């Protein structure tokens, strides 16, 4: 199955079971939300999970793009992405956890064709405050899947205060298909978590107490890229069809090592999406995140060839990304933003070289020097290091 078919299978499955797709999409949270970018599929639905009635009803699904900068240093490995998408399903005081798990299992098995022998699940085993999640345990046993109970790993909360509850995670075996699965989700990393079903039934108050919600809900989330990678039998998200034009067109253009190629793919693709959602580079907030993404790309490209330029970026990559994320912006304006930022960065580097050429910066640099270069000349430490490398 390609990515579009996977998304359609998920959407059709839940629509047939009475779920309405919500207008998932933009990375920008509502203006009253203090966070810069949407970080998970459930994020825009938080007020509704807390009890507000949703205009589209009590059974919802979405495909939500998300952006996380917490993992920026991990980008370049097989799995971490800056912008990714989450498939999610919600019951706002409608059906319960057991129904959600059953549907989850049926979709993975019947819709996506994952054999039950390649699935393992974890459930909340109880702690000092809340007893074990017997309902989930019984459901999984009836369905015949192996279950591993845990404590902390299966208690979902996003913040110290707010919504929380026990969750149950479905793992898929990604080891060699020729050998039977081994170990358990917590003991063997070849068990990869694909779907998290949270029974959102508590609220942690600021005094630390746990209050049951008047209207408990179900919140599930499944990372699209990870699901696609697992279903297509790949080891790395970059080998999936999601990155097909990137991995085909970038290596002949810029001959980089594997980690750098992945970083350039991830950051450019993420930058395009952020621009598509209306953000422009700046020195603060969302614009600064975008600026950092583009400049990290340029630093990587220019490390061994300063003549590389984003003007060479094939239009197909811009088009593919905007289409995939259902963004109406044309490729022309996106390219303009990228090239404008490239020119600004180039000028900054030129200034940086001039400043670093001064005799006082000849020797080793102190933390104070780095602060001065950053605060007065806008030169980040990473950049200074690069500029001083012969
Ligand atoms: N809240 C759950 C998660 O973030 C499911 O959406 O994984």
Tens of pLDDT, residue by residue over 63-120, are 999 999 877 788 888 888 999 999 999 999 999 999 999 999 999 999 999 999 999 9
Q: Report yes or no: 168 and 122 within 8 Å, Cβ to Cβ.
A: yes
User: Could you tell me if the CB of 198 is within 6 A of ligand 1?
Assistant: yes
Q: Give the pTM.
A: 0.91
User: From ligand 1's centre to the CA of 189, what distance in Å?
Assistant: 20
Specify the ligand 1 atom closest to the Cα of 197: 5
CA nearest neighbour of 65 among 334, 337, 331, 321 = 321
Q: Distance between CA atoms of 343 and 95, rounded to whole angstroms?
A: 54
pLDDT, position 69 = 86
Q: Which are the contacts of 357, defined by CB distance < 8 A and separation ≥ 6?
A: none
Q: Report yes or no: 117 and 101 within 8 Å, Cβ to Cβ.
A: no
User: From ligand 1's centre to the CA of 126, what distance in Å?
Assistant: 19
User: Could you tell me if the CB of 39 is within 6 A of ligand 1?
Assistant: no
Superfamily of domain 3-239: Bira Bifunctional Protein; Domain 2 (3.30.930.10)
Q: Distance between CA atoms of 324 and 330, rounded to whole angstroms?
A: 13
User: From ligand 1's centre to the CA of 221, what distance in Å?
Assistant: 5
User: Could you tell me if the CB of 225 is within 6 A of ligand 1?
Assistant: no
Residue 299: count of CB within 10 angstroms of its CB? 17
Angle at 178 between CA 244 and CA 170, to 5 degrees: 70
User: From ligand 1's centre to the CA of 156, what distance in Å?
Assistant: 8
User: Could you tell me if the CB of 40 is within 6 A of ligand 1?
Assistant: yes
pLDDT in tens, the chain (390 residues): 999 999 999 999 999 999 999 976 899 998 888 899 999 999 999 999 999 999 999 999 999 999 998 777 888 888 889 999 999 999 999 999 999 999 999 999 999 999 999 999 999 999 999 999 999 999 999 999 999 999 999 999 988 999 999 999 999 999 987 889 999 999 999 999 999 999 999 999 999 999 999 999 999 999 999 999 999 999 999 999 999 999 999 999 999 999 999 999 999 999 999 999 999 999 889 999 999 999 999 989 998 899 999 999 999 999 999 999 999 999 999 999 999 999 999 999 998 999 999 999 988 999 999 999 999 988 888 778 878 876
Query: Atom 7 in ligand 1: which residue has the minimum CA distance?
Result: 221
List, as own/partner pairs, every contact residues 259-262 make where C-beta atoms lie below 8 angstroms and the sequence separation is at least 24, other chains included. 259/76, 259/77, 260/76, 260/300, 260/303, 262/75, 262/76, 262/77, 262/238
> What 8-state DSSP symbol labels residue 33?
-
User: From ligand 1's centre to the CA of 42, what distance in Å?
Assistant: 6
Domain boundaries, given as residue ranges, for the chain:
3-239, 241-388
User: From ligand 1's centre to the CA of 225, what distance in Å?
Assistant: 15
The enclosing H or E element of 122 equals: strand 119-124
User: Could you tell me if the CB of 217 is within 6 A of ligand 1?
Assistant: no
Tens of pLDDT, residue by residue over 328-383, are 999 999 999 999 999 999 999 998 999 999 999 988 999 999 999 999 988 888 77
Mutation test of ligand 1: which of 124, 220, 222, 223 has the most ligand atoms closer than 8 Å to its C-beta?
220
What the block records as the tokens of 97 is 């956890």
CA-atom Rg of the chain in angstroms: 23
User: From ligand 1's centre to the CA of 158, what distance in Å?
Assistant: 9
Q: Distance between CA atoms of 236 and 221, rounded to whole angstroms?
A: 20
Q: Distance between CA atoms of 14 and 20, rounded to whole angstroms?
A: 8
Q: Which are the contacts of 383, defined by CB distance < 8 A and separation ≥ 6?
A: 295, 299, 349, 352
Specify the ligand 1 atom closest to the Cα of 88: 6
Specify the ligand 1 atom closest to the Cα of 40: 4
């Amino acid at each position: 199955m390609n990515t579009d078919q996977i998304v359609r299978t998920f959407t059709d499955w839940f629509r047939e079971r009475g779920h309405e797709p919500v207008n998932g999409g933009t990375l920008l949270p509502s203006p009253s939300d203090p966070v810069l970018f949407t970080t998970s599929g459930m994020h825009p639905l938080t007020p509704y999970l807390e009890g507000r009635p949703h205009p589209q009803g009590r059974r919802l699904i979405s495909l939500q793009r998300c952006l996380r900068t917490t993992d920026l240093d991990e980008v370049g490995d097989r799995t971490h992405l800056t912008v990714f998408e989450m498939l999610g399903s919600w019951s706002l005081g409608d059906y319960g956890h057991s129904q959600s798990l059953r549907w989850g299992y049926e979709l993975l098995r019947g819709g996506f064709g994952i054999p039950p022998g390649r699935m393992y699940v974890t459930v909340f085993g109880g702690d000092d405050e809340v007893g074990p999640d017997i309902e989930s345990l019984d459901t999984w046993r009836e369905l015949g899947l192996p279950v591993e109970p845990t404590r902390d790993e299966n208690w979902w909360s996003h913040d110290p205060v707010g919504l929380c509850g026990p969750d149950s995670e479905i793992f898929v075996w990604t080891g060699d298909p020729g050998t039977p699965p081994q170990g358990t989700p917590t003991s063997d990393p070849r068990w990869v978590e694909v779907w998290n079903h949270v029974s959102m039934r508590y609220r942690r108050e600021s005094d630390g107490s746990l209050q049951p919600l008047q209207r408990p809900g179900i919140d599930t989330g499944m990372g699209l890229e990870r699901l696609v990678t697992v279903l297509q039998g790949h080891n790395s998200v970059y080998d999936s069809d999601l990155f097909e034009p990137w991995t085909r067109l970038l290596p002949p253009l810029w001959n980089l090592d594997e980690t750098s190629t992945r970083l350039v793919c991830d950051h450019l693709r993420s930058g395009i999406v952020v621009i598509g959602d209306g953000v422009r580079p700046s020195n603060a907030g969302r614009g600064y995140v975008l600026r950092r993404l583009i400049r990290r790309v340029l630093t990587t490209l220019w490390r061994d060839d300063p003549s590389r330029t984003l003007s060479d970026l094939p239009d197909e990559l811009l088009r593919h990304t905007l289409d995939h994320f259902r963004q109406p912006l044309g490729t022309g304006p996106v390219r303009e933003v990228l090239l404008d930022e490239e020119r600004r960065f180039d000028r900054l580097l030129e200034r940086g070289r001039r400043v670093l050429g001064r005799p006082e910066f000849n020797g080793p640099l102190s933390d104070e020097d780095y602060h001065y270069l950053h605060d007065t000349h806008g030169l980040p430490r990473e950049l200074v290091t690069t500029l001083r490398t012969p």
